[in-house]
Structure 1
Amino acid sequence: MPEKEKLRIDKYLWSIRLFKTRTLAADACKAGRVKLDGNNIKPSHEVKLGEVYQVSKGPDRKVIRVTGLLESRTDAKTAVGYYEDITPVEQTPAFKSMFQAPVLKRDRGTGRPTKRDRREIDGLQEDFFEKGDQ
């Protein structure tokens, strides 16, 4: 694949398939969702080998290390070779899904919840999410 010595971060994130379009990658940089050493970077930032970036995309957060510069978008199998995903296990979606929300079960045939039941359910969920954010 073609490699380049100078490459913009928005083009790099698009080419390794972290973002669907280059515009989305540039918008993420402008919004402060792409960081280098904890500092926001502009879409025109030049990518260098070995740099570590923190990329937030919705609820997902990835930490990637640059292992190669890829100028054009390629298939996913090839793109994986140009970065190393060093995201801690605690931040992966699979790990988070185990601890997201309690599963509330109701006995079959009990009908819809009453207003009182609904308030109790909402209270349980609010308590859970408040404790999880801290």
Structure 2
Amino acid sequence: MPEKEKLRIDKYLWAIRIFKTRTMASEACKAGRVKLNGQNIKASHEVKVGETYNVSKGLERKIITVTGLLENRVDAKTAVNFYADLTPNEQTPGFKSMFHAPVLRRDRGAGRPTKRDRREIDDLQDGYFEKKKEDEE
């Protein structure tokens, strides 16, 4: 893979497949969702090997360290070699969804819930989520 001496952060984030388009990467930089040492950076910031960036993309938060410079977009298996993902496991979307989404099941053939059943289900869910919020605080 060709490595380049100077590389913009928006182009780098696009090349390692953090963002789908380079425009989205530059807009994230403008909006302050890409940080270096807690400071917002511009899309024209030059990437250096060894720097650690905090990237916010929707609900997803990533902490990445640059291990190599990549100028052009490549497949995902190759792109993984050019950065180290330091995101704690507890902050990954897969980990969060495993613990925050209650699974409610109804017996097969039970039909639609009645209005009374629906109210009971809502009360259970409200109690569940309020309890979770108290646990987090």
Aligned pairs for 1:49-88 (under 5 A) are 49-88=49-88
Q: Aligned ranges for residues 32-43 of structure 1 at < 5 Å?
A: 32-43=32-43
Deviation at 1:66, TM superposition (A): 0.4
Q: After alignment, is 109-118 or 2-11 more displaced? A: 109-118
- After superposition, residues 89-108 of structure 1 pair within 5 angstroms as 89-108=89-108
| TM-score computed with the length of structure 1 as normaliser | 0.85
Change (3 A) 1:99 1:72: same
TM-score normalised by the chain length of structure 2: 0.83
SS of 2:99's equivalent? coil
| CA root-mean-square deviation | 2.0
Note closer, same or farther for the CA distance 1:53–1:126 as it changes in structure 2 (3 Å cut): farther
1:119 aligns with 2:123: no
Q: Deviations over 1:60-106 (max 9, x none)?
A: 22111001111111222222111111111111233223202111112
Aligned residue identity for 1:87 = T
- Stretches of structure 1 lacking an aligned partner (at least 5 in a row): none
What is the aligned partner in structure 2 of residue 30 from structure 1? Answer: 30
Kindly tell me the number of residue pairs found equivalent between the two proteins.
Answer: 134
Identity %, equivalent residues = 75
C-alpha displacement of 1:50:
0.9
* Aligned: 1:2 with 2:2: yes
Q: 1:57 to 1:105 in 2, by over 3 A?
A: same
